Amino acid sequence: PVVGLAKRLEELWLPAATTPIMLPRDSQALYLLQQLRDETHRRAISHHRNRRSKLAVASILDEIVGVGPERRKMLLKHFGGATGLRTAGVSDLMLVKGISPKLAEDIYAYLHSTAESLPQSEGEDN
């Protein structure tokens, strides 16, 4: 980081500085730095939740006969994670390349028989 912005007092810390810079509370520069900090934090949290959700779903998909690493990857890419897969119907699953009607039915049945074990994802985005 080039600069750090401590939350409570909104102190601006520069590398190798021994004391912080205190910008006025109504400063446009402070407002911009706060927005950058908050947006960075929001994106990091969203990314972490999305990744955790995909890893959990990937391990569930690994248990389905006929779904290997390549199909798992295509399913996760197509549906974006647990929420998308959970809401997909058999016909939606068949839209993914390599998913036959029989396999789509197997995936649907397996996901809905284990629905309580799938994570409830918040803010999934790719």
Per-domain residue ranges of the chain: 4-14+25-117
> 98-103 — which CB contacts under 8 Å span 24+ positions?
98/70, 98/71, 98/74, 99/71, 99/74, 99/75, 103/66, 103/67
Question: pLDDT 10s digit of each residue in the chain, 126 long?
Answer: 577 877 778 888 888 889 988 999 899 999 999 999 899 999 999 888 888 777 666 678 888 999 998 998 899 899 987 788 889 999 999 999 999 999 999 999 998 886 555 544 444 444
Backbone angles phi, psi at 124, to 5 degrees: -70, 125
The amino acid at residue 116 is E
The confidence score (pLDDT) of residue 82 equals 74
The confidence score (pLDDT) of residue 52 equals 77
CATH number corresponding to 4-14+25-117: 1.10.150.20
The alpha carbon dihedral of 64, 68, 71, 77 has a sign of positive
Neighbours of 93 (CB within 10 A): 22
State pTM to two decimals: 0.50
The confidence score (pLDDT) of residue 75 equals 94
